[in-house]
Amino acid sequence: TSLLKIALAPIEEHTRQLAAVILKKCIREHWSRHDRLFVAPEISANEKAVIKQALPSGLGETNSKIRTAMAMAIAQVAVNEWPGEWPELTTTLVDGIRARRSKAEVLGCLKCYEMIANDMDEVSVATVGPVLFPELLTLARVAEHADVKRRAT
C-alpha cells in the first residue's frame, strides 16, 4: 500500500508515475499464488482490500501517464478478481463515466475498460454490457470533448 500512497500523493509527477508502474508490477507478481507469474510473498487480504478500494481514485488524475498506470494496475487486479471477487468495479467505472465529474475521470474509466476488455469472456460481457453500453452511447452523442467521444466509440 506504500506504493499506492506515493502514486496518489501530491508530490512530483515522475515519482508518482514510477510508483504506479512498480505497483502494477507488484500486483502482477504478488496478487495471487494461482497466477503463472506469481512470486512469493502474496499480498495480504487486508492490503488487497485497501488497494481495490483506493485504486479507482487514480482514474481521475489529470496527468495522463499516471492515470494510465492506475488503469493498468486496476486491469491487473481485474485479471484475478473481476467480476466475481470485485463486482463493485463495474459500478465504480460506470459511475465514473455517468457522473462526468471530470474529463480526466471519464477518460480514466474508459481506458480501464479498454484494458480489461482484452481479458473479458462472454459472461463478463453479458454482465457489463447492459450497464456500460448505454453510457458509451450517451457519451458518443453528447460528449463535449473530441477525445472523450473518440474513446467512447
Instruction: Give the pLDDT of residue 148.
Output: 59
Query: 95-128 burial by CB neighbour count: b if 16+ within 10 A, else e?
Result: ebbbebeeebbbbbbbbbbebbeeebeeebeebb
Percent of the chain with pLDDT over 90: 63
| Tens of pLDDT, residues 22-35 | 999 999 999 999 98
Domain boundaries, the chain: 2-152
How far are the Cα atoms of 37, 62, 115, 150 from residue 76, in angstroms, in the given order? 12, 21, 9, 24
CATH of domain 2-152: 1.25.10
Residue 91: pLDDT over 70: yes
What tens digit of pLDDT does each residue of 114-142 get?
A: 898 877 777 677 778 888 888 888 877 77
> Per residue in 94-115, pLDDT tens?
999 999 899 999 999 999 988 9
Which of the pair, 144 or 128, is modelled with greater confidence? 128
Cα dihedral 36→120→22→93 (10° resolution):
-150
Question: What is the average pLDDT score of the chain?
Answer: 89
Tens digits of per-residue pLDDT, 51-75? Answer: 999 999 999 999 999 999 999 999 9
